[in-house]
A and B are shown apart, each in its own frame.
Chain A
Amino acid sequence: MKRFVLLFIVLLTGYAQAQLTNITISKGVDNPTRIAVVPFNYSGPKLAEDIPEIIRNDLNFSGQFESISVDKMISYPQSEGEIRYRDWKMINAEYLLIGGITLQSGRYIATYELFDVAQQKRVLIKNSVEGSDAQLRDMAHRISDKVYETITGIRGIFSTKIVYVEAFQKPAKYRLMLSDVDGARSRALLESKQPILSPVWSADGTRIAYVSFETNDPFIYVQNIATGRREQVTNFKGSLNGAPAFSPDGQKLALVLSKDGNPEIYVLDLATRVFTRVTNHFAIDTEPSWTADGSGIFFTSDRAASKAQIYKVTLATGQTERVTFDGEYNARGRVSPDGKSLIVVNRREGDTYHIAALDLKSGNLRVLTETNLDESPSIAPNGAMLMYATSSGGKGILAAVSLDARTKVKLPSKQGDVREPAWSPFF
């Protein structure tokens, strides 16, 4: 009886609340989040790197944030007690990051705290990172990662790396480069007078595979990043040897060979060195990439009226199905980390080549880029953005776009033509 009475009371109060006016909104403005990274408290000999500046650039690079420049700041608090929230409200800052750096027996320690300006409250308790003199950039990236993740709920990618190809003309020269995701600390992994293409990372971030023409013919090589040691894993002369892709468990390499007459997908077991043929069709079959669980392979084929489209083969059964239907051309499919989207190079009738995201469940295709002649998309390990190659001012450059297409970034151009970016996994 008592329970019934309680329920009755609860229902009445619920009824009373439902009577409150309820306003619904379904659209927003989606401006980048404005964050103020205040110069860190530090007294000592000038540091080789400006940590707050690296953090500002990182957050800008993500496209989700807009870092407020130092000259717009009204005050420079170094502790919570020094914060005057109206100073930050006045310049429309949404978040405030303050910090300090100290040197202790040869190690640098950077502490940082994050505050929400609108709600005037602390968001992050005092955190710290430490490192040597050579690791100042890594420390800054770790802080950026933490800030990004705290505010967006998504893991930050500022400590990841990229591999890309840089090409020069007259004389023709090609370099396989490794750098931080912001382009800093770049070094060459391979230099050649002949083309290098299709670099890819293994899932554990220790190795890369790529195609090199250095012996006058294209062959596939696997190289250890840390040691630089590499080995040639294919040797089929007079055939295509291309488009390598590590399986998610790192044990196998999917690739393309035309040794049996026309381009087909094969899987190479890296331990046994046995090649297993996967496709069997007179059309072009190329650009294999694995599903997240390694049970299937997406690939590009022109078997449908000689128009490049993407197909998926289930390895256990050999069953193949077409995956793309929107557009005259769909190639170079790579699945997103959450398995929901396939990122492709797409061309619709009357339009040029763009990077697009295909929703694998609904089949809906969203074009993400506004630049022209886009190619070689590589997805960030947090699935929030992707990098790709395009041209600007007649030069090959890299650009990045968020997967919801809201933010677009162009990376600063290098000396040569830059192409074929490969985004590392999380380390």
Chain B
Amino acid sequence: MITKAMKQGLTFAVVMAFLVGCSSSDSKKKPAPAPAPAPVVEKVEAPVVKQIANVVYFEFDKYDLTPESRAVLLAHAEKLKASSVAVRLEGHADERGSREYNMALGEKRAKAVRDFLVLQGVKAASLETVSYGEERPVALGHDEASWSQNRRVEVKY
């Protein structure tokens, strides 16, 4: 049996999950239960909520953070400091070069992100790092356009 409350709660959870990925400054409001018309909340809040990227990118053969990456990660840091959500930082590299070296490169990138977040005050224990090297590209072309998309760390909540 699915009660109305359960239905509401489920919708709320779905919306929250969606908002967690997209919201920025409104994060404080998240734990508070949404008003009854949840879809209405979504409609009202969605245009106001700013979307944070879940991916940061890197230069070829480098694992230091660009200013753009820092900006994105600052936003995540704020989010994470408030909650105790566990996050998995997945590091990747483009296909060039040997596979295991790229595994190490991916890990360096993931750890660079983690270290930055920790510096911003995020609890280290909530951050997990893993590297997929070149094994899981998002773009399959053999050119810079694809490679630049693959040199990344994904923030997975």
Residues of A within 8 A of B (CB): 169, 172, 195, 197-198, 213, 216-218, 238, 240, 242-243, 256, 258, 262-263, 284, 286-287, 300, 306, 308, 329, 331-332, 345, 347, 353, 373, 375-376, 391, 394, 419-420
Contacts and interface: CB of A to CB of B under 8 A. Distances in A.
Contacts of A263: 104, 107
A331 B107 CA distance: 17
A177 B128 CA distance: 31
Contact of A394 (B98, B99, B136, B142): B142
Contact of A300 (B101, B131, B133, B142): B101
A256 B97 contact: no
B108 A284 contact: yes
B68 interface: no
A286 B135 contact: no
19 contacts: A195-B132, A195-B135, A195-B136, A198-B99, A198-B100, A218-B103, A238-B129, A256-B103, A284-B104, A286-B101, A300-B98, A300-B100, A331-B97, A332-B98, A345-B98, A373-B142, A375-B97, A376-B98, A376-B99
A391 B107 CA distance: 25
A332 B101 CA distance: 8
Contacts of B98: 287, 300, 331-332, 345, 375-376
B107 A258 contact: yes
Chain A interface, >50% SS class: strand
B140 interface: yes
A391 B142 contact: yes
A212 to B, nearest CB: 11
- Across the A-B interface, the 8 shortest Cβ-Cβ residue pairs: A195-B135, A332-B98, A243-B100, A331-B98, A284-B104, A263-B104, A286-B104, A331-B101
Given A172-B136, A286-B101, 19 more contacts: A197-B100, A197-B133, A217-B130, A218-B130, A238-B128, A238-B130, A240-B107, A242-B100, A284-B101, A286-B104, A306-B61, A308-B97, A329-B97, A331-B97, A331-B101, A345-B97, A345-B98, A375-B97, A419-B99
Interface residues of B, number: 24
Contacts of A197: 99-100, 103, 133, 135
Contacts of A262: 108
B100 A286 contact: yes
Contacts of A242: 100, 103-104
Given A195-B132, A240-B131, A373-B142, A284 B105 contact: yes
B140 A287 contact: no
A213 B135 contact: yes
A287 B101 contact: yes
B15 to A, nearest CB: 27
Contacts of A419: 99
> Which of B100, B101, B132, B133: most chain A CB closer than 10 A?
B100
B131 to A, nearest CB: 6
A243 B101 CA distance: 9
Nearest to B127: A238
B30 interface: no
A185 B130 CA distance: 36
Contacts of B107: 240, 258, 263
A300 B128 CA distance: 26
Contacts of A306: 61-62
Contacts of B108: 262, 284
A172 B98 CA distance: 21
B50 interface: no
A345 B98 CA distance: 7
A284 B128 CA distance: 19
B155 to A, nearest CB: 16
A256 B128 contact: no
Contacts of A258: 104, 107
Interface string B66-108: 0000000000000000000000000000011111110111011
Interface in B124-148: 128-133, 135-136, 140, 142
A216 B128 CA distance: 12
B133 to A, nearest CB: 7
B97 A213 contact: no
Nearest to A244: B100
Nearest to B88: A216
Contacts of B129: 238
Contacts of A213: 132, 135
A332 B128 contact: no
A240 B128 CA distance: 12
Contacts of B95: 373
Contacts of B105: 284
B99 A375 contact: yes
A262 B115 CA distance: 13
A240 B103 contact: yes
Nearest to A394: B142
Contact of B104 (A240, A373, A376): A240
A329 B98 CA distance: 10
Interface string B29-62: 0000000000000000000000000000000011
